[in-house]
Structures are given as C-alpha cells and as structure tokens.
Amino acid sequence: MAKQHQASPEARQGATIYSVAEHAGVSIATVSRVLQGVTVVSEPTRQKVLAAVEELGYVALGAARSLAVRHHEAHGLVLPELSGPYYAELLMGFEARAAELAQSVVLVLTDSRTDLAAAVRQLATRVDAIAVFGSAPISADVVRLLRAKKPVVVIAGEPQDGVEAVSAENLESARELAGHLLDHGKRRALFVGDPDSGPDIHNRYAGYVAAHRDRGLDAAEPVRVALREAEGTAFAQRMLAGAYEADALMCANDELALSIMATLQDAGRDVPGDVAVVGWDDVMTARYVRPGLTTVRQPVHELGALAADRLHELVSGEPPRSRAQTLPTQLVVRSSCGCRAAT
Amino acid sequence: MAKQHQASPEARQGATIYSVAEHAGVSIATVSRVLQGVTVVSEPTRQKVLAAVEELGYVALGAARSLAVRHHEAHGLVLPELSGPYYAELLMGFEARAAELAQSVVLVLTDSRTDLAAAVRQLATRVDAIAVFGSAPISADVVRLLRAKKPVVVIAGEPQDGVEAVSAENLESARELAGHLLDHGKRRALFVGDPDSGPDIHNRYAGYVAAHRDRGLDAAEPVRVALREAEGTAFAQRMLAGAYEADALMCANDELALSIMATLQDAGRDVPGDVAVVGWDDVMTARYVRPGLTTVRQPVHELGALAADRLHELVSGEPPRSRAQTLPTQLVVRSSCGCRAAT
DNA sequence: CTGTTAGCGCCTTCAT
DNA sequence: ATGAAGGCGCTAACAG
C-alpha cells in the first residue's frame, strides 16, 4: 500500500482518519476516541495514535465532522460594511470572543451582495447561529425566517419575538449630550442625521428631544441626511448658503460631524463660537481635529463579544432573553461643544 | 431499510433532500438534479420539486454538500487585526469579490489567537483556499505546511515557492515620496518605522534609501518603532527632547505620521516649516488634519479582490504564478510635505 | 428522463 | 479497551 501522504501535487486532500488508523495499526474508532478524548483509551495505543496523527499532520475534515455531529462550530456575522472604525471594532470583538469559544466566524457584508436573502440562507447552512446588525437592510421577514432554523441575535436593533438583541445605550447618553449643548446656552441646536436609518439613530434623536423637553424647550425636526461624509459636506454647504439657522449641530455620528465641521471651518466659520458641533462614536479622527470633537464613546468591542457570547449560549440550549441587553456608553467632552478641554 | 429521513414537522434542523423528495413525490436524485441544474429534468417534475423546495424552505446542508462534492465553496482570510482602515478595506475587497464568486469567507484574526498554528490548521479544514496577510505572525513553516494542503496566497508579502503573492507597489512610490521631500530642500530626512515589520515597510525604506542615492546623498538608518499611534507619540517626544535632528520625517504609515505631527504641533513646532511629515495609506484623518497629510494611496480594496480572485483560480486548477503581482499606488500630495496644496 | 445505490470522512452505539 | 457497522445529508455514477 503506497502511502500518498507526501504533499504530492495532486493528493492535496491530506490524511483521513483511515490513513491514521492504518498507520497506527488500530481501527478508526480508536483514532476518533483519542482525538475526542471522551472515552478512555489505553496509554500505549493512545501514544501510537497520537504519533500517527502528528506524523501525518492529520486534522479532521470540517465538513465530515459537522455532518456527523450535526453542528458546525461556526458563527455567522452579518454586517452592512466595514468602512469606519465602528463595524471593524465590532467585528474584532466578535471574532475574538468566537475564537475563545472555538468557533469559526463566517462573515457576510450586505453592501456587497445583490441577493442578500439568498446569501443569508446560504450562510445559515454553514453555521450554528447568526448575529445580524440591526440596521442591515435585512427585512424582518428574513430574520424571522432565519430564526426558525438557527438562533439569531440582533446587534443594535430592536428585539423581536424569539430574536434577542444586544446594543449600546443611546437615549440617555444622547439626552446628556444634547443637554450639555443646551447648557452651553445654545438655543438653536439641530439634529443632523436620519432617525429612520436604524434604532440607534432613532434613540439618539429621542434623547435630543428629551433634553429639550427637560428644559421646556422645543426640539426641532431632524435634518434627515445619510450618515456619510459626502452628505455632511453637502449639508454644511446648504447651511453656509443660509438654508439653516443654527448655533449647534448634534450629528448622528462622527463621520457626519467631522465633514460638517471641516466644511464650516474652511468657509471661515468658528467652531464652536459660531456653531458648536458634536458627534457620536469617538473615531480616531475625533481627537486629532481642532477643536477636538466632543462625542460619545460606545463599547463597540464588548458589544461584538457579547453578541458572540449570546450566540454560543443560545446554541448551547439556553433560552433567548426577551429584554435587550444594553451596554453603557460614555460622553467624551472635548472642545467642539464650547468647552475648553485639554484638546 | 426503513428510511428515517422524514422531516418531522417540528424538526428544528429544517427540511432535508429526503423530505423534499417525498413531498414532491420523486426520488432524491431528481431533487438534486433540479437544484444542481446540470442534468435535464422534465418541466412538470421540475415544477413539482421547485414547489416542494419553496414550501419547505429547503436549502442543502453545507456540510453534507461539501462532503459529497469534496470542496467547501469558501475562502479563508487570515489578517492580523482590523483597527485602522487598511485591513478593513482589504477585507471588504476580499469579501466583495468572494461574494461574486459565490464563496463564503471565514475570517481569522491573528491578534486574538493564542494558538495561531492550530487556528490556521483548523481553518484549512473548512475552506478551499487561504489568503494570509504577509506580516501576520505566521511562521513561514506554517504557510509551507498549509500550502501542502490548500492553495495559499500571501497578501503584501514575499512570494515563496509554490505560494504566490499579491501586493501594492512600495519601492518606487517610496522613492518618489522621499525624492519629493528632498526636492523641497530637506536634507535631514528620517525614516520612521521598522523595516522589519514586513516586506511592505522594508520596501518603503528601500525606496527612501534609493531616493537619497539618486541624489548622491546619504540615507540615515531607520528609526525603528512599531507602526502604532502610541509609538509615534513617544518618538515625537524623544525628538522634542532633542534626541533626533531632522527637518523631515517619512513615516511608515499614516497612523505614525498623524500622531507624530499632532505631538509636534502641540509643542509649538511648525509643520512643515520646522519639520515636514509624510505618511502612507491615505487614511480618512489624513485629509482632515491641518496641514493636510501628504501620503501614498494604495488600492487596498483591489488588493483584497485580487487575492480572492487568485484563490478562486488556484482552486480551479490554475497553476500558481511565480512572480508577485503588484498593484500601482498613487502619491497624494497635500501640505505637510511643504507644498502649498489646496488643503 | 428518473430511480437506485455507493460513497464523501467522521462519530457513535453496540458487541466483543 | 477496542473493533464493526450504521448513519449524518448530499452528489454522482449506473441502470433502467
């Protein structure tokens, strides 16, 4: 019996449990046993097997193992995209925790998919559970459909029946941030960003409204723009043209705040003198610009880890939680709000 | 003999090919046929099957299919981490192309792994091919070992025997960038960053050296610091303390350049007057700081896509290319080099 | 055109 | 303690 375990050009497939068994002079059942480490195996044979495994560099084929044990030891993660630090950080937290739990992570980015529903269904056939980002353009139907087959957790979205959710706090922090602006004496603060772009933004706007209400003030309607750099620039230009009257801008995220601030400054406006600008996320750029951007830091890494955790427990049979789990955020005060902070 | 493939109504696992077959009153082979769409099936039965598939929401189990066809329809990607826009963009490019090619992507981040070798071996059992980032702390041994089982392509690294590489151009662009600095009259330009942190950086330093040689100048030894924000700040402080004499700093990447520039400016130094600072990558922050950071833009997205492409072709049986494929980069001149650009 | 059947590689009772 | 044998769900010959 010629051994073809040498890395011959075409026999790339590697050793199987059979070749290991033969090599060690035992049955495949024994090989499986020492590898699973569940049943007891006599030390001598155990060593023989281990030696064979080592020599042939054997690793069980994922598909075969999955088929036999009826699960994949993998988690799926569905995110819109990865530009900006938010999603990347979330992914890092998710991946790190998944790694600790010995789960592979297979990633799906919705922005690059034409047939998202198909992609998600596909994903469901290769993982044990799936975490999907709340604002991802996935119809609630798909989520529900998914949930029928695999455990699902929504990140930064609303919990639905049977689908639990994890997120960072928004409303109270937004209320605090908006309050901070108002306490600087600003009386025409505008909320820039579309509350309909997701539960997160929705709640930030709600906090903005609440802060006004707290002080017996009227909150303005939100300026509905997408959370992208280009939209911020466009908005700022409209503002420079006199389309908006405001002495403070509470932006839905830093990307928006940063582009708006830069455009305003380039046109000679003083920030925060003429108009204060604050954001949300605390991206790297926020601490490099002058004035430093006042914003809110979210525990994004932890959020990702939490999602991976919950997925694992759900797979382990734990029942889904009905209430969303919310992680606390932190107000980061720099100078763009009107404060004279260090930076 | 009894078939027990009946999908009990509440079977959480979902429908199997058997339940679909039964539901449609045909054999599993027929179901498989219409789904694979290879062989011809009479239109009537075809419709019956499709209807059953639809009603049961059937999707073939990934593991079973993989086992039968002997491949996974998935690509693996090994990256160090995801902070900063570089890796995230690379991943997006990779994922997008993989999606087009109908390949799932399973991601492994080395920074979060304690046993990297094991993680990579594991990965190899669930994908058809693997792309690993060149500077990832993966010993050449592991790569070679991997290559014996699956096609591998190295991103931004040196091609090894049987392992092809894709990368962005570094040497010539660096030569151009360094030359630009020298042509501004700078005579004590320092290279900041460790050339040993990867082939990319190595070549950037080589370009720096070449530019000097081109002009009959002597190139200084590199200031070996890690490519992280904190290291940049520390370096800048040493420089402010008089440890280095320089009128220009060519930093290995933008993160370094940005933190150095900020620290220098905070201490009252004029950039680019007292000292010019340039980076590499063209991250978002680079265009928001003042002066705008002169840097080099890499086609990161395309690089990721190229890697996915090559993986796919390698899996399809195409032979590996011996020469590395290099994508062109672009010098982005702003003001931190001494030019009086728009920003 | 369609059904039957033999694997794919591994895990897991069930005997021994 | 170890071996034999039956699936896991699906694809792909091979017969009809």
Of the candidates A59, A96, A148, the beta carbon closest to that of B112 is on: A96
Whether A117 has its CB under 8 Å from any CB of chain B: the answer is no
* Binary contact (B285, A288; C-beta < 8 A): yes
What average pLDDT does range A292-319 have in this prediction? 95
Domain holding A99: CATH number?
Answer: 3.40.50.2300
Minimum CA–C1' distance nucleotide for A41: D1
Specify the pLDDT at position B7.
31
Strands B104-109 and A104-109: antiparallel
The sign one gets for the Cα dihedral B251, B256, B257, B262 is: negative
Torsion on CA atoms B275, B278, B283, B288, rounded to nearest 10: 40
Mark whether A207 and A249 lie in a shared domain: yes
Q: What are the tokens at A198?
A: 């997701």
Contact in structure between B20 and B53 (CB atoms under 8 Å) = yes
Provide, as residue numbers in chain A, all residues whose Cβ is less than 8 Å from the Cβ of B75.
none
- With CB atoms and an 8 Å threshold, state whether B290 touches A290: yes
Judge if the beta carbon of A258 is closer than 7 A to nucleic acid strand C.
Answer: no
Please check whether residues A305 and A157 belong to one and the same domain. Answer: yes
The answer to whether the beta carbon of residue A56 comes closer than 7 angstroms to any atom of strand C is no
The set of strand D positions with any atom below 7 Å of a protein CB reads 1-5, 7-13
Q: Do A235 and A252 belong to one domain?
A: yes
- CB within 8 Å: A81 and B59: no
Calculate mean pLDDT across residues A71-98: 94
B336 located within any domain: no
Residue A54 is predicted with a pLDDT of: 92
Please check whether residue A127 is in contact with residue A106, taking contact to mean a CB–CB distance below 8 angstroms.
Answer: yes
The first and second tokens of residue B342, run together, are: 């728009």
> Do A18 and A45 fall into the same domain?
yes
The residue whose CA lies nearest the C1' of nucleotide C13 is A29
Domain housing A21? 12-68
Looking only at the bridges linking them, the beta strands covering A152-155 and A104-109 are unpaired
Query: Both A164 and A305 in a single domain?
Result: yes
**In a 3-state reduction of DSSP, which class is residue B187?**
coil
Amino acid A32 CA to nucleotide D3 C1' distance, rounded Å: 12
- Quote the CA–CA distance of A314 and A286 in Å, as a whole number: 37
Query: Each residue of A115-169: pLDDT tens digit?
Result: 888 899 899 999 999 999 987 667 677 777 777 788 999 999 888 777 899 999 9
* pLDDT confidence of residue A5: 28
Which helix (H) or strand (E) segment holds residue B104: the answer is strand B104-109
The torsion angles phi and psi of A154, rounded to 5 degrees, stand at -100, 130
Pair (B103, B184) in one structural domain: no
D11: residue with closest CA to C1': B68
SS in 3 state form for chain A?
CCCCCCCCCCCCCCCCHHHHHHHHCCCHHHHHHHHHCCCCCCHHHHHHHHHHHHHHCCCCCHHHHHHHHCCCCEEEEEECCCCCHHHHHHHHHHHHHHHHCCCEEEEEEHHHCCCHHHHHHHHHCCCCEEEEECCCCCCHHHHHHHHCCCCEEEECCCCECCEEEEEECCHHHHHHHHHHHHHCCCCCEEEECCHHHCHHHHHHHHHHHHHHHHCCCCCCCCECCCCCHHHHHHHHHHHHCCCCCCCEEEECCHHHHHHHHHHHHHCCCCCCCCCEEECCECCHHHHCCCCCCEEEECCHHHHHHHHHHHHHHHHCCCCCCCCCEEECCEEECCCCCCCCCCC
- Are A104 and A163 part of one and the same domain? yes
Same domain, A176 and A288: yes
- CA-to-C1' distance for A256 and C11, Å? 54
Preferred mutation among A58, A89, A146, A285 to probe B, highest tally of B CBs within 10 A: A285
Low-confidence ranges of chain B (pLDDT < 50): 1-11
Which candidate from A57, A70, A91 shows the least CB-CB separation from B145? Answer: A57
User: What are the structure tokens assigned to A248, written together?
Assistant: 């403070």
- Cα atoms in the 13 Å half-sphere on the side-chain side of A263: 19
- A51: in domain: yes
User: With contacts defined as CB-CB under 8 Å, which chain A residues touch B88?
Assistant: 82-83, 87-88
Interface probe for B, chosen from A17, A81, A92, A97 (most Cβ of B below 10 Å), is A92
Say yes or no for a CB contact (<8 Å) between A96 and B107: no
Chain centre to alpha carbon of residue A217: 35
The verdict on residue A231 lying in a domain is yes
Q: Are residues B93 and B21 in the same domain?
A: no
**Close Cβ partners of A101 (under 8 Å, ≥ 6 residues apart):** A308, A309, A312
Of all nucleotides, the one whose C1′ comes closest to residue B65's CA is D10
Burial label for B72, CB within 10 Å (0-12, 13-18, 19+), is buried
B343 to chain A, closest Cα gap in Å: 9
- Which of B338, B328, B326 is CA-nearest to residue B134? B326
Q: Which ranges constitute the DSSP H helices of chain B?
A: 17-24, 28-36, 43-56, 62-69, 85-100, 116-124, 140-147, 171-183, 199-214, 229-240, 254-266, 300-315
Rg, chain B, Cα only: 27
Question: What CATH number has the domain bearing residue A56?
Answer: 1.10.260.40
Interface test with A, best of B16, B65, B106, B302 (most A CBs within 10 A): B106
Encode pLDDT of A280-303 as tens digits.
999 888 988 999 999 999 999 999
Domain end: A68, A89, A113, which one?
A68
* Residue in B88, B123, B148 closest to A88 by CB: B88
A109 bridge partner residues: A79
Q: What is the pLDDT of residue A341?
A: 59
CA angle (B223, B229, B233) in 5-degree steps: 65
Q: How many domains does chain B have?
A: 3
**Does residue A208 lie in a domain region?**
yes
**% of chain A at pLDDT higher than 90:** 75
* Chain A contact present for B48, CB below 8 A: no
Q: Indicate whether B6 belongs to any domain.
A: no
A191 beta partners: A250
| Range name among A66-75, A236-245, B313-322 with the lowest pLDDT average | B313-322
What value does the mean pLDDT of chain A take? 90
Strand D protein footprint, C-beta under 7 A: A 25-30, 33, 39-42, 44-46, 67-68, 70; B 4-5, 13, 16-18, 28-29, 32, 35-36, 38, 58, 60-61, 64-65, 67-69
pLDDT in tens, B302-314: 999 999 999 999 9
Nucleotide nearest A63, CA–C1', reads C9
Q: What is the pLDDT of residue A278?
A: 98
Contacts of A275 (CB under 8 A, 6+ apart): A246, A247, A248, A249, A264, A269
Show residues of chain A in contact with B12, CB under 8 Å.
Answer: 149
Q: Which residues fall within 8 angstroms of residue A289, CB to CB, at 6 or more apart?
A: A258, A261, A262, A336, B288, B289
* pLDDT at res. B3: 35
Q: What is the pTM of this model?
A: 0.89
Cα B87 from Cα B20, distance rounded (Å):
43
A119 touching B (Cβ < 8 Å): yes
Residues of A in contact with B282 (CB under 8 A): none
| Measured torsion, CA atoms of residues B79, B83, B88, B91, in degrees rounded to the nearest 10 | 10
The pLDDT, as a whole number, for residue A198 is 86
| Range in A37-41, A93-97, A263-267 with the lowest mean pLDDT | A37-41
Q: CA of A51 and C1' of D1: distance in angstroms?
A: 19
Instruction: State the pLDDT at residue A136.
Output: 64
Q: For residue A43, give the nucleotide whose C1' atom is nearest its CA.
A: D1
Measured distance CA(B321)–CA(B39) in Å, rounded: 35
Q: Indicate whether A185 and A268 sit together in one domain.
A: yes
- The answer as to whether B334 is a domain residue is no
Q: Which residue is nearest to nucleotide C1 (CA to C1')?
A: B41
**Hey, how many other C-beta atoms are within 10 angstroms of the C-beta on B158?**
15
Look up residue B215 and give its DSSP letter. Answer: T
Residue B198, CA distances (Å) to A53, A84, B138, B153, B311 in order: 33, 24, 12, 16, 22
**pLDDT for the residue B341:** 59
Contacts of A91 in chain B (CB under 8 A): 82, 107
Asked whether the beta carbons of residue B109 and residue A123 sit closer than 8 angstroms, the reply is no
Helix axis angle, B171-183 to B199-214, nearest 10°? 40
The C-alpha atoms of residue B32 and residue B229 are separated, in whole angstroms, by 55
Q: What is the pLDDT of residue A288?
A: 85
Q: Inter-chain contact B106–A105, Cβ cutoff 8 Å?
A: yes
In this complex, the residue with its CA at the shortest distance from the C1' of nucleotide C12 is A29
A150 and A187 inside one domain: no
A39 CA vs C14 C1’ separation (Å): 15
Q: Does A335 reside within a domain?
A: no
Nucleic strand C under 7 Å from the C-beta of B66: no
Same domain, A140 and A157: yes
CB atoms within 10 A of CB B327: 15
Q: Count CB neighbours of B166 within 10 A.
A: 27
Tell me what the mean pLDDT of segment A266-291 comes to: 93
* A-proximal residues of B, 220-239, CB under 8 Å: 229
Bases of chain C within 7 A of a CB of the protein = 1-5, 7-13
Q: For position A8, what pLDDT does the model report?
A: 32
pLDDT of residue B136: 63
Q: State the DSSP code for B221.
A: P
Of A51, A26, A47, A29, nearest in space to A38 by CA: A29
Given this model, what pLDDT does residue B228 score?
87
Alpha-carbon gap, residue B53 to B47, rounded angstroms: 10
Residue B83 lies in a domain: yes
- CA gap A121, A113 in Å, rounded: 13
Q: Do A125 and B150 touch (CB under 8 A)?
A: no
**C-alpha closest to that of A189 among A282, A296, A290, A272:** A272
DSSP strand pairing (B295-297 vs B330-332) = antiparallel
Q: Residue closest to C7, CA→C1'?
A: B68
**Element housing B129 (H / E):** strand B129-133
Q: Is the distance between the Cβ of A35 and the closest atom of strand C smaller than 7 Å?
A: yes
CA distance B148 to chain A (A): 5
Is A106 within 8 Å of B109 when comparing Cβ atoms?
no
C-alpha separations of B47 from A97, B11, B26, B29, B53 in Å: 45, 25, 12, 15, 10
Q: Are B164 and B153 in contact (CB under 8 A)?
A: yes
CA distance A31 to chain B (A): 18
- CB A198, CB A168: distance < 8 Å: no
